[in-house]
Amino acid sequence: MPAVHIDLPPSVLATLSEYLEAVSVRYDACMAHIEHNYTVDGVRAQIRLHYIRFDGNGRLKIEALAQALASHITYYCISSKRRPKTFRLDEANDLFTEARDYFRQSGTAGEPGELLLYFLLEAVLKVPQMVCKMELKTNRQDETKGADGIHLIYDAANDCLVVYLGEAKLIASYSQAMASVFDSIARFHANRQERHELKLVTKHFKAADPVLREEVSKYLDDQHPQGSCRIVHACLVGYDWDSYKELAGSKGAELIATFKDQYIRFFESRIKPKLDEHCAGFRDKSLEFEFFFLPFRSVQEFRDEFLRIIMGSAPS
């Protein structure tokens, strides 16, 4: 007797992708990535080599990137359930002002990097944010606690909810930035913060749909027989890259070709060995990673430019 195939109804979790809010064309206008086949041993990880585009004069599009991020702060900071589906211009201005005020007016603030990681997760990986951690701050002068972001997507093939926990580090030294990423993740698990972050999803779910929220809660509850979830640490490593100085005066195709060649050489000789070392020494081999590497002329220049745009003045 032939086997009977039963088509299961599509899970409501498949609608998670409908909550993407980052505008991909804004990413394409100011950022790109280099294709490669690099892997690491010891952990399951994807390596992504991103970069900031150059304009026609050979200048980095730092301002364009900062403007793109500034245009997303309302999405990033304020839950969609708190935003009306349609609103007047004055209401839009009020929402932007509220979102802006969550950012610390400090030249050392970590929020620009966290926002950039949000942008990459939504625009590149197509994984929507599900908790607006900025609006959970009790003191707006504090950094956000725990993971730098919480994003979710549904893996239908394995009937699994995939939870992306963000870790963003913009530090002048690439080696210090990487070390800080792995140190933060190690402390995160040593302090058993994973369960707390998952509870935030249930308690502070960004979307208004109660049916979707209930289904997500089931998959995140390890005491519930339905569904499961897996953790992926999404890590942004932004660093200063001195080789930009050697590209001064170049333009067009020659600039891009030279830049990519030097970027690959630097990654292979300096960053990849450090990454392999950290991954080999990481104790929990069950975790997954997405690494976003991004060279800046100066991470401080980027941070200052972003805060100048949203605040209207240079940070203190």
pTM comes to 0.92
For position 315, what pLDDT does the model report? 54
Backbone angles phi, psi at 145, to 5 degrees: -95, 155
Mean pLDDT is lowest, of 37-46, 70-79, 142-151, 240-249, for 142-151
Which residue has tokens 């070390």? 179
Within 10 A of 2 (CB to CB), how many other CB atoms are there? 4
pLDDT tens for each residue of 115-131: 999 999 999 999 999 99
Confidence of residue 42 (pLDDT cuts 50, 70, 90): confident
What is the rounded CA–CA span in Å between residue 283 and residue 184? Answer: 13
3-state secondary structure of 173: coil
Determine the straight-line distance between the first and last CA of the chain, rounded to whole angstroms: 76
Answer whether 181's CB lies under 8 Å from 235's CB: yes
Q: What are 260-304's pLDDT values in tens digits?
A: 999 999 999 999 999 999 999 888 888 899 999 999 999 999 999
| pLDDT computed for residue 168 by the predictor | 97
139 has pLDDT over 90? no
Nearest Cα to Cα of residue 292 among 33, 72, 6, 56:
33
Res 140: pLDDT: 62
CB atoms within 10 A of CB 90: 8
- How much of the chain exceeds pLDDT 70, in percent? 93
CA distance 22 to 77: 13
- Longest CA–CA span in the chain (Å) reads 76
Among 3-7, 34-38, 198-202, 297-301, which stretch is predicted with the lowest mean pLDDT?
3-7
DSSP state of 29: H
Note the pLDDT tens digit of each residue in 84-121. Answer: 777 788 889 999 999 999 998 776 778 999 999 999 99
Residues constituting the chain: 316
For the cut 50, the answer to whether the pLDDT of residue 5 exceeds it is: no
Whether 118 contacts 144, CB under 8 Å? no
What's the rounded Cα separation, in Å, for the pair 281 and 261?
29
pLDDT at 83: 87
**Bigger pLDDT: 27 vs 223:** 27
CA distance 41 to 289: 12
Q: What is the mean pLDDT of residues 43-60?
A: 96
Provide the b/e sequence for 187-200 (b: ≥16 CB within 10 Å).
ebeeeeebeebbeb
Query: Where does the chain have alpha helices with state H?
Result: 24-30, 62-70, 73-77, 89-100, 111-123, 174-190, 194-203, 210-220, 252-266, 272-281, 299-311
Tokens of 8: 């299961």
How many of the other CB atoms lie within 10 Å of CB of 113? 25
SS3 content of the chain, % helix, strand, coil (to 5): 50, 20, 35
294's tokens: 């991004």
Q: What is the chain's mean pLDDT, rounded?
A: 90
CA geometry: angle 45, 219, 118, nearest 5 deg:
50
Mean pLDDT over 201-226 rounds to 88
**Cβ contact 289:82 at 8 Å:** no
pLDDT at position 138 is: 65
Tell me which residue has tokens 């005020």. Answer: 101
The alpha carbon of residue 82 and the mean position of all alpha carbons in its chain are separated, in whole angstroms, by 22
Confidence of residue 1 (pLDDT cuts 50, 70, 90): very low
Q: What is the pLDDT of residue 143?
A: 65
| Six-digit token string for 11 | 């899970």
pLDDT at 33 over 90: yes
Region 146-153: mean pLDDT is 94
* Ramachandran category for residue 78: left, alpha or beta (phi over 0 → left; psi -120 to 50 → alpha): beta
Residue 160: pLDDT over 80: yes
